[in-house]
Structure 1
């Protein structure tokens, strides 16, 4: 329990981990009461239990997967925005901003640049 607390997880994720741990212990030790299992969880550091180690490993893997997916989606969004920015700059007969400089910007900053360029295109 203390190890789960130290991970600084959201309350819902922490509760889910504890519930999973309780369920795993219940299935492994069917003769223990629910109260005995709760005491065991609260007094045994999670990293000392096989189930706890497995849950932590699973949580880390899930976090990495989510991070990769979010990173890819942001990369795709940035690529689309940069393409539109470069197209607008070419139409306006401006030198395109270097791709490296644009890649350093957040999607929000890129959308702001694109919005300004689109406003200029409406005037022309």
Structure 2
């Protein structure tokens, strides 16, 4: 199993040259993710401004406000991840420390908290 596994997992086992279009595909995917994230960030900011109204201070709207805050933090962290990745800032020590120890925790925690808010809103209704 060891030899076959090592050949399969090797980055380039000598049989197939790496496809040069992969870098281009990663760049296009990153741009699409940034565009979608900025649309989400804009929508969440507008949502927070709308929910400041005194007539929208009931419990369901508090869940929606919490969902907007959690999504806003999660999407902002995703945008920072892509900025660090494309500008090669992830090679510096502070950013590398953040990427290794904090980034996944922040992104996953806030996106899961947003899902919990959506579930609580559904249960409350």
Same-fold call, TM > 0.5? no
The alignment's TM-score, normalised by the length of structure 1, stands at 0.36
Which structure has the greater CA radius of gyration? 1
The alignment's TM-score, normalised by the length of structure 2, stands at 0.36
